[in-house]
A = this chain, B = another copy of it.
Amino acid sequence: MTRTAWTLSDVERDEHVDSLHITAGEVGAAGDFSIRKRTLRGGLREGVEVVEVDNGLLRFTVVPTRGMGLWRVELGDLRVGWLSPVLGPVHPQFVPVAEPSGIGWLAGFDELLCRCGLESNGAPQFGDDGRLQYPLHGRIANLPAQRVEAAIDTAAHAIAVEGTVDEARLFGHKLRLHTTYLTQLDQPRLRIVDRVTNLSSEPSNMELLYHINFGPPLATPGARIVAPIETLAPRDMHSATDVARWSTLGPATAGLPEYAHFAELVADGEGRTRVMLVAADGQRGVSLQFNRHRLPAFTIWKSQRLPEDGYVTGLEPGTNYPNVKRFEQQQGRVPQLDPGQTLHFEIDLEVHPTAESVNAAAVDIANIARGVEPTIRHEPMPGWSDV
């Protein structure tokens, strides 16, 4: 038995660990890795529980209190994430997800990786009576994990942080997210393995989008997005003005509305696809790998305002495009789940700290693209955009 696991929280068993610090030495291993669980204090982060992992090279912070989101990743002095106008992580008690405007979710939006779902994601949907039906990007990011575990496998040289978040109500959806953050010691990457289960005895549906957000230093004007585009279209007419430059981050401009582009990506025979953000100097980047069969709808989001207003770009693999759920349902992009059914999702996030590493990923992406000529549409595409 080379795997040691620590239950950090388990409400069913009435167990909870306030703080924990596990180092290599404590598990009789060589190396310089650690797992630390603690609770943040003060301001909007009061009571936010975090699990900080250092695999010897890569450091990252998982936030059980915010739906097992991934706050930040660091490699050496390179910080991967973004600087939101709100300094988080923000405790859900301060996020009015149910605000009548539908956009209260923004009050807590601060993470590198924020899951949007599970009953819905995308734009807020209102009924004919004017009332909010689905808030922007759903509830999962503001629900705490009911169970959290950390584990080290010394033989596999691996660290795992697992968590379970339930988005469930009597008479409502009963969806369970089980997520595992997996990382190998001294490697510049981590894997996110998500299982979404319909706990109900009745059919259900779900939406899941990974809002993965990058600000400086990786995302600055001149940074490039590398992706094996099959087809790409702007979300709306404003975004259409950016579509010719979809792969380049533009200058920071005060008051510039966001751009969004929707895309289908080329994938290899097993469905694997990959996208990368490359810093303006070409020396650093971050890439994401995922399966196009599971996450067929890819969104590029560019909010290119000045840093204090959030200069940020999102690479967002999803089951759907972030339109109102009603539209996504009409287009058949909302996964259906049978009773008890589980859907699997995986994302590999890799930090590329050198030009060599960037170039290797670029070659991989080119291989995936197999010379497919991207179709870039200059206007929103009916069926993709609700315009």
A86-105 interface bits toward B, Cβ cutoff 8 Å, 1 = contact, 0 = none: 11000011101111110110
A166 touching B86, Cβ below 8 Å: yes
For this chain, the copies found in one complex come to 3
Of A24-32, A227-235, A289-297, A306-314, the one touching chain B: A306-314
A41 touching B9, Cβ below 8 Å: yes
| Chain A contact patch, size range | 35 or more
State how many angstroms separate the Cβ of A258 from the closest Cβ of chain B: 8
A-B complex: 6 closest residue pairs judged by Cβ atoms: A16-B41, A201-B306, A9-B42, A43-B146, A98-B99, A96-B98
Could you list 24 A-B pairs, sorted by A, with CB under 8 Å? A9-B41, A16-B42, A42-B144, A42-B146, A43-B144, A43-B146, A44-B143, A44-B144, A44-B146, A46-B47, A85-B174, A85-B199, A92-B94, A100-B131, A101-B132, A106-B169, A106-B172, A130-B130, A130-B131, A170-B309, A170-B310, A171-B258, A200-B306, A201-B305
Interfacial residues, chain A to chain B (CB-CB below 8 A)? 9-12, 14-16, 18, 40-47, 84-87, 92-94, 96-101, 103-104, 106-107, 109, 126, 129-133, 143-148, 166, 168-172, 174, 199-202, 254-255, 258, 303, 305-306, 308-310, 312, 339
**Given A92-B93, A201-B308, list of 10 further CB < 8 A pairs?**
A11-B44, A15-B42, A16-B41, A18-B41, A47-B47, A87-B166, A170-B303, A200-B308, A201-B306, A202-B309
